[in-house]
């Protein structure tokens, strides 16, 4: 499987367009997991910023985009759109992401895969530590 190496290539695979396409590169992807990275958290024009700050909870959107990209890369057109149904066990280790000097690494691993959805474990890390982590339930339309 050829991995998208640019933000433009990623945007062709996910519904998030323009500045809302937050991921910049896929480092690894297989049938179960994906690892991506991004520096868009440092961009002053990041559309999720409020009053110049990118709250750590916005890392959830990075993780959800990684899940959408994982679905597009592994199931292709056979998979319909997905919708967030639940979050569980979410832990935030920082208050904000915009002051993280390192590139963010975004990982998502499918813990359960069924015809109607997925349960993913996710982690967003930077500077050698987990910044936020948890689980997400995604239902397919």
Tens of pLDDT, residue by residue, the chain (141 residues):
678 778 899 998 888 889 999 999 999 999 999 999 999 999 999 999 999 999 999 999 999 999 999 999 998 656 678 899 999 999 999 999 999 999 999 999 999 988 889 999 999 999 999 999 999 999 988
Assess if residue 1 is contained within a domain: no
The pLDDT > 90 percentage for the chain reads 77
Domain count, the chain: 1
Paired tokens of 43: 């961009």
CATH number at residue 91: 3.10.129.10
- Which residue segment(s) compose the domain that 61 sits in? 7-140
Assess if residue 134 is contained within a domain: yes
Q: How far is CA 39 from CA 60, 67, 126, in A?
A: 15, 18, 10
Paired tokens of 69: 């990209």
Assess if residue 2 is contained within a domain: no
Residues contacting residue 39 through CB under 8 Å, at least 6 positions apart: 24, 103, 104
For the entire predicted model, the pTM comes to 0.95
């Amino acid at each position: 499987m050829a991995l998208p190496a640019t933000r433009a290539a990623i945007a062709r695979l996910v519904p998030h367009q323009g500045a809302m396409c937050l991921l910049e590169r896929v480092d690894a992807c297989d049938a179960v997991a994906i690892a991506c990275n991004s520096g868009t958290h440092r961009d002053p024009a990041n559309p999720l910023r409020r009053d110049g700050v990118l709250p750590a909870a916005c890392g959830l959107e990075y993780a959800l985009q990684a899940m959408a990209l994982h679905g597009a890369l592994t199931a292709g057109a056979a998979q319909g759109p997905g919708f967030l149904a639940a979050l569980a066990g979410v832990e935030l280790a920082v208050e904000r992401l915009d002051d993280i000097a390192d590139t963010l690494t975004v990982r998502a691993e499918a813990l359960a895969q069924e015809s109607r959805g997925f349960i993913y474990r996710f982690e967003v890390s930077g500077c050698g530590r987990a910044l936020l982590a948890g689980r997400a339930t995604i239902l397919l339309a």
